[in-house]
Chain A
Amino acid sequence: MIRSFNGKTPKIAASAFVSETAYVVGDVEIGENSSVWPGAVIRGDMGKITIGKNTVIEDNCVIHSGSPVQPPITDITIGDNVIIGHGAVSNGRRIGNNVMVSMNSTILHDAEVGDHSIIASGCIVKEKMKIPERSFVVGVPAKIKGEISEEQYWWSQNSPKIYSDIAQQYKREGL
């Protein structure tokens, strides 16, 4: 379901796949070859949400702009080649490129995640936390455990491509 809000209509690239049971509303931009899976909610009502290319927003994720922090921030960005795993929630201000946010983790308001970082499953990234590039982040609340391994780096480079291929097939089959 794609809906306008307050005069703003989501701008979705022609090659992107948005499941018909996802809900995308308001000031949202989604780049080429990105995909939004069933049950995901992308709610650009309190500020703009910009999602780059080849990025994957998996099933039942919630991405919401706006923030109760002072001074309030409104717009949020998610970079290119990012995977937001099943059930994850992000109110974060900026998620860099090639980041993996694993299943059911939560990124709270005004947090920033650097390029090539991995946020482990179930992690809670607290408000305003700044995560440098290539960090491996785990726990409740989240702690930086160190740098990502070479194998993790390979995944952050290659898994968005695997996903974008399957998303294109969904699109072709009209799902």
Chain B
Amino acid sequence: MILSFKGKTPKIASSAYVSKSAHVIGDVEIGEDCTIWPGVVIRADFASIKIGSNTDIEDNSVLHVKVAMDIGVNAVLGHNVTVHCSKVGNNTIIGNGAIILDDAEIGNNCVIAAGAVVTGGMKIPDGSFVAGVPAEIKGKVSAQQSTLIDEHYRYYTKEYKKFFREHDM
């Protein structure tokens, strides 16, 4: 469901897939080849939300902001992730059920573990592996972890997205 709010209508690239049962509201930009799965809520009512190309936002995740949010390219937000921060970098993976609080900034090529709670204002440098409640930087992303993103693309092919887009799902 794509809704305008206060005169702002989501701008969604033609190659992106947005599930019929996702909610995309207000001042939102979604780049080429993104996938937005069922139950996702992207609610840009207080400020804008910009999502770069090829980014994947999985089922039931919620994105909401007080100040503008910028999500990079090739990022993956897992199932049931809650994002309330200002920046998520390129090629970053956020694991299932993680929570990213206000004004946090996550760099490029980071892995945020499932269930982590990234506290307000936390700044995470490029290439960090982050886990825990509250979240701590545990070290650098390993070569094995960085292949996760490559693996992801094997599944989310252009044909796969096209099928969902064209079958009204």
Contacting pair B96 A5 (CB below 8 A): no
Nearest B-chain residue to A87, judged by Cβ = B80
Q: Kindly list chain B residues whose C-beta atoms are within 8 Å of the C-beta of A4.
A: 167
B163 touches which of A6, A62, A87, A108 (Cβ 8 Å): A6
A41, B37: Cβ atoms closer than 8 Å:
yes
Q: CB within 8 A of A122: which of B115, B148, B160?
A: B115
A60-B60, A62-B59 as given contacts; A41 in contact with B151, CB under 8 Å: no
Q: Is A119 at the interface (CB under 8 A from chain B)?
A: no
Residue numbers of B with Cβ under 8 A of A are 19-21, 37-39, 58-60, 78-80, 95-97, 113-115, 131-133, 148, 151-152, 155, 160, 163-164, 167, 169
Assembly CA distance A154 to B9 (angstroms): 52
B80 near A124 with CB under 8 A, answer: no
Interface residue range, chain A:
20 to 34
A-B contact number at CB 8 A: 83
A62 pairs with B115, CB closer than 8 A: no
Q: Tell me how far the C-beta of B17 lies from the nearest C-beta in chain A, rounded to whole angstroms.
A: 12
User: Which chain A residues border B79 with CB–CB below 8 Å?
Assistant: 41, 62, 64, 89, 91
- A123 CA / B38 CA spacing, docked (Å): 23
B-contact bits for A110-134, CB 8 A (1 contact / 0 none): 0000000000001110000000000
